[in-house]
Structure 1
């Protein structure tokens, strides 16, 4: 497995973002009406893709939220590759990059029903800062 930094407009990135969007729409069911598919309006600055051989199997993105706060976006691992520690490695890459950018905090938003993701974030030092129904915001001090 390797992890590579790619341009946001890369065909592989767009394809994986689309797979993530499809997964989330299916996962959310009727709540999918509240989910926003990827668009350039997200202003993502960096994207890392994980590969198994030549196959892209996961991604994580970063964008600047404010002058000293970065944001984790679009963490996704294809289902058949989950449970191997790939998300943790990718999250660590984003954290290192955020520190290099001078960020003092990392922020993320997710749904409480994504239990494995919530567990990963909590074990990685993120804490809940806001909850509204199933929507959760979390932060980590760097």
Structure 2
């Protein structure tokens, strides 16, 4: 049974999952990891979801305010052994519902082109590719998405 918990970036389980995510991204991003890492700090995330399977933290995601009526999805991650079970979709939909309940009308996110599974995942959930927004506008590896509620 999967349980989703709303929390913030002070949550110890979230912090551990993000450590795992950062190790994965360091490999995917290669030499560009330092650039991306500076935009993924945890001290500013008040809207975090942690997914638990049998009380074990197995996935996470977050959002932060992006514009007057939009948010940016950050720190999406599911442990490899729990992938392809619908967890990422559950987490993302919970984040979208939470943002919408707070009055936000659209969601943005950035992912790396080399993360082909992530790209396909966001497209499957009706995210549209848009021109790269700052600070990613000059990053060849970045792919930015938008979804309106």
Structure 2, unaligned runs of 5 or more: 133-138
For structure 1, which runs of at least 5 residues remain unmatched after alignment? none
Point out 4+ residue stretches in structure 1 off by more than 3 angstroms.
Answer: none
Cα distance in 2 for residues equivalent to 1:72 and 1:33: 19
Determine whether 1:139 maps to 2:140: no
Match of 1:90 in 2: 91
C-alpha distance in structure 1 between counterparts of 2:65 and 2:125, whole Å: 20
Q: TM-score, normalised by structure 2?
A: 0.87
Superposed displacement of residue 28, structure 1: 2.5
- Encode CA deviations 1:45-96: one digit per residue, 9 max, x unaligned: 2111111112111100011101101111110001111100111111111111
Distance 2:84 2:74 in 1: 20
- Confirm or deny: 8 A CA contact 2:9 2:42 kept in the other structure: no
Provide the rounded CA distance (Å) in 1 between the counterparts of 2:122 and 2:11.
27
1:66 corresponds to: 67
Alignment RMSD, CA only? 1.6
2:73 counterpart SS class:
strand
Q: What CA distance in whole angstroms lies between the structure 1 residues aligned with 2:117 and 2:85?
A: 12
User: How many equivalent residue pairs?
Assistant: 141
Contact 1:49–1:58 (Cα < 8 Å) also in 2: yes
Secondary structure at the aligned position of 1:25 is classed as helix
